[in-house]
Amino acid sequence: MARSFASAMGCDFAEMDVTLPEKRESAPLFGVDDVVFFGVPTYIGRVPNLIRPFFVSIKGGGALGIPVVTYGNRAYDDALVELRDIMEENGFKTVAAAAFPAEHSFSTTLAGGRPNEKDLQLAKDFARKIAEIITNNPHSICGDHTPVAVPGNPAPYSYYKAVISDNKSIDIRKVKPMTDPEKCTKCGLCALLCPMGSINISDPSITNGICIKCGACIKKCPRGAKSITDPDYLEHKRLLEEEYGNVIKKAELFYTT
């Protein structure tokens, strides 16, 4: 998306993937000549709380900003408005925003295969339209600024409350993946992929730190050795798949007026 934008504008492009902890050690600095896309997944209806402080530490210095969230076919609730507000409060001027369905971390059927070709084309069109808006309206964008309008409740934002049978709320914060010793070859891939750096590389059956349930270790293990067996997690996943598994959600794009 940002690459398509840069090619439409004929400007330089740099990408920072901050999934891994070492990439979040220092915050980049931006200024008035920059256009910055922030992309985060929706976690329980909001910007993931563990990555929030990193995004809050990034100063815009008058750069234009484009908040983008992904979500796993249920809803993005307040995540997009929260990300927009983080950018605005830190000196970015938001001019566009988007929400894209993306395969849910818990599942392969919730938004399975998304983003697909159509989503990627939409992302490119989105980027080109932003380039057009900026090129055609430099004065209105740089003068009186109104943050891009997006759906969601203003602060304090709401967390989505997951419930299972008998209206029981679930709390899966302490749930961690299990490792099948018969399948695990201790290759260490899961430890290298863990966004929290929580898996022990010499013995991947040990998860010492926080698990955010991103599913990277489960989905990417070449031997299928990792799984989450917690009954509340599995029931929540089952209910989500039942309710949202066959729904086709469309990407939503928003532009400054």
Q: Which residues of 228-244 are buried (b: 16+ CB within 10 A; e: fewer)?
A: bebeebebbbeebbeeb
Least distance from ligand FMN to the Cβ atom of residue 43, Å: 4
List residues near ligand FMN by CB under 6 A.
Answer: 41-45, 70-75, 102, 104-105, 160, 212-214
Least distance from ligand FMN to the Cβ atom of residue 87, Å: 18
Other C-beta atoms within 10 Å of 70: how many? 22
Q: 122 or 214, CB closer to ligand FMN?
A: 214
Q: 34 or 103, CB closer to ligand FMN?
A: 103
Q: 191 or 212, CB closer to ligand FMN?
A: 212
Least distance from ligand FMN to the Cβ atom of residue 42, Å: 4
103 vs 73: CA distance, rounded Å? 8
Least distance from ligand FMN to the Cβ atom of residue 74, Å: 3
The alpha carbon of residue 118 and the mean position of all alpha carbons in its chain are separated, in whole angstroms, by 19
- Of all residues in this chain, which one has the CB nearest to ligand FMN in the complex? 72
**Alpha carbon distances (Å) from 115 to 111, 124, 144, 149, 251:** 8, 12, 35, 24, 9
DSSP string, 74-112: S--TTHHHHHHHHHHHTT-EE-EEEEEE---TT-SSTTT
Q: 75 or 253, CB closer to ligand FMN?
A: 75
55 vs 43: CA distance, rounded Å? 15
Least distance from ligand FMN to the Cβ atom of residue 142, Å: 32
Q: 6 or 170, CB closer to ligand FMN?
A: 170
